[in-house]
């Protein structure tokens, strides 16, 4: 087959019509949100807290930035998406380590964490289940067997051993746990988002799904972000019982339950872009909400422990990068493995 036809075939498999439709829905929604936010921001005496409006407008700007970055990654195809998430993991891990100071004896351990284990995790994700033949690998080799255990097993054993070699025993367990937690949350967990692009997806009944895997990735990131928004919104509307006041006083059980239902409904409404039936999408939306809440509460606990408000200042006016993706980090491995187990071959 001539090269131009091969290129067109690859493009059709990479981005389908449903993918463009999903991106269009997001684009329209963001445009409407931007207009609404600007109108509310200029009106006086609306009976709405100005701080709430500012937070909403900042969040919309963050979503615009995220959309632009995602589109740039999609243009570069699967390799571009893997590299994009690798860079995001690197920066998020930097924020995490900066927020939880280490000692001089940890510097060489951190070198391995940042420049060996983080790139290696994403290289294995990039190789996936169909490594390119020109690299000399067996085309049937599935690198999931490696990237699923590399960090939680080998890196977790290496980190304390390397720290011990440095000869600094003060707060040894605490320091090792900090580095291991950062690597697990910011790199290992987040890396399962681009890993979705490597799944061979089927619909219920083991019928091969002909859609674009990009749609599934966008669907997941979208509902993970919406879960946090809906939880905060329902907490403002009907929140009465705070989950853990000393950790995060704005998160309530009412907001959590409301978010599960609402996020599930949005997921069901967008099921046409995925291999899921509407009820399956609703269930996954509810599961993502649970993990998104877990991510938010966990990062809040870490920030309270360290005495900081935000993980960083990368996004002006709206905290750090890790604050924006904590929901994705915690939800990604669960969403990936559920999809892999029930909707892949």
Average pLDDT over residues 99-112: 87
Q: Are 56 and 37 in contact (CB under 8 A)?
A: yes
**Half-sphere exposure of residue 201: CA atoms within 13 angstroms, side-chain side:** 23
Residue carrying structure tokens 């900090």: 178
Residue carrying structure tokens 């990131």: 221
Q: Running DSSP on this structure, what letter comes out for residue 344? A: B
Q: Are 185 and 152 in contact (CB under 8 A)?
A: no
How far apart are the C-alpha atoms of 214 and 5, rounded to whole Å?
Answer: 21
Q: Given this model, what pLDDT does residue 72 score?
A: 85
Tokens of 95: 């924020």
Tokens of 283: 């269930």
Residue carrying structure tokens 């799944």: 199
Q: Is 21 exposed, middle or buried (0-12, 13-18, 19+ CB in 10 A)?
A: middle
pLDDT band, very low/low/confident/very high, at 6 (cuts 50, 70, 90): very low
pLDDT band, very low/low/confident/very high, at 156 (cuts 50, 70, 90): very high
Q: Are 228 and 282 in contact (CB under 8 A)?
A: no
Tell me the three state secondary structure of residue 310. Answer: coil
Q: What is the pLDDT of residues 226-249, one digit of tens each?
A: 999 899 889 988 888 999 989 988
The pTM of the full predicted model, rounded to 2 decimals, is 0.88
pLDDT band, very low/low/confident/very high, at 214 (cuts 50, 70, 90): very high
Higher pLDDT, 138 or 3: 138
Tokens of 337: 């493995």
| DSSP assignments along 61-125, one per residue | HHHHHHHHHHHHHHHTHHHHHHHHHHHHHHHHHHHHHHHS---GGGHHHHHHIIIIIHHHHHHHH
How far apart are the C-alpha atoms of 288 and 290, rounded to whole Å?
Answer: 5
Share of the chain above pLDDT 70, in %: 90
How far apart are the C-alpha atoms of 3 and 14, rounded to whole Å?
Answer: 16
Q: Given this model, what pLDDT does residue 255 score?
A: 94
Q: Are 74 and 15 in contact (CB under 8 A)?
A: yes
Q: Are 60 and 33 in contact (CB under 8 A)?
A: yes
Evaluate if residue 313 carries a pLDDT over 60. no
pLDDT band, very low/low/confident/very high, at 315 (cuts 50, 70, 90): low
Q: Given this model, what pLDDT does residue 4 score?
A: 39
Residue carrying structure tokens 């996936």: 128
Q: What are the respective helix, strand and coil percentages of the chain, to the nearest 5?
A: 75, 5, 20
- The whole-chain average pLDDT of the chain stands at 87
User: Could you tell me where the DSSP H helices lie in the chain?
Assistant: 3-14, 17-42, 50-75, 77-99, 107-112, 118-127, 144-147, 156-165, 172-183, 192-195, 213-238, 253-269, 278-306, 321-342
Average pLDDT over residues 74-79: 87
Average pLDDT over residues 287-299: 94
pLDDT band, very low/low/confident/very high, at 5 (cuts 50, 70, 90): very low
Cβ-Cβ contacts under 8 Å for 19 (sequence gap 6 or more):
211, 212, 214, 215, 218, 273
Higher pLDDT, 272 or 50: 272
């Amino acid at each position: 087959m001539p090269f131009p036809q091969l290129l067109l075939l690859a493009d059709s498999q990479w981005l389908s019509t449903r993918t463009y439709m999903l991106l269009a829905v997001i684009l329209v929604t963001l445009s409407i949100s931007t207009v609404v936010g600007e109108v509310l921001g200029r009106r006086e005496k609306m009976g709405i807290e100005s701080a709430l409006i500012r937070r909403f407008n900042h969040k919309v700007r963050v979503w615009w930035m995220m959309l632009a970055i995602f589109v740039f990654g999609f243009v570069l195809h699967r390799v571009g998406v893997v590299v994009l998430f690798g860079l995001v993991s690197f920066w998020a891990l930097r924020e995490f380590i900066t927020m939880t100071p280490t000692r001089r004896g940890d510097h060489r351990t951190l070198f391995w964490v940042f420049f060996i284990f983080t790139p290696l995790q994403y290289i294995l994700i990039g190789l996936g289940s169909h490594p390119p033949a020109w690299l000399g690998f067996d085309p049937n080799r599935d690198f999931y067997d490696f990237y699923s255990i590399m960090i939680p097993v080998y890196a977790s054993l290496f980190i304390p051993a390397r720290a011990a070699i440095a000869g600094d025993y003060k707060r040894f367990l605490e320091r090792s746990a900090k580095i291991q937690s950062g690597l697990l949350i910011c790199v290992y967990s987040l890396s399962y988002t681009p890993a979705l692009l490597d799944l061979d997806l089927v619909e219920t009944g083991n019928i091969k799904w002909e859609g674009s895997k990009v749609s599934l990735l966008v669907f997941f990131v979208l509902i993970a972000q919406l879960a946090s928004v809906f939880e905060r919104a329902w907490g403002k509307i009907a929140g009465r019982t705070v989950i853990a006041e000393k950790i995060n006083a704005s998160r309530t059980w009412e907001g959590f339950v409301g978010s599960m239902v609402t996020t599930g409904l949005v997921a069901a409404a967008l099921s046409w872009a995925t291999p899921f039936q509407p009820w399956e999408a609703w269930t996954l939306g509810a599961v993502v909400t649970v993990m998104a809440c877990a991510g938010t509460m966990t990062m809040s606990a870490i920030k309270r422990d360290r005495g900081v408000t935000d993980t960083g200042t990368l996004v002006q006016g709206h905290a750090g990068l890790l604050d924006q993706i904590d929901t994705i980090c915690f939800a990604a491995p669960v969403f990936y493995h559920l999809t892999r187990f029930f909707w892949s071959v």
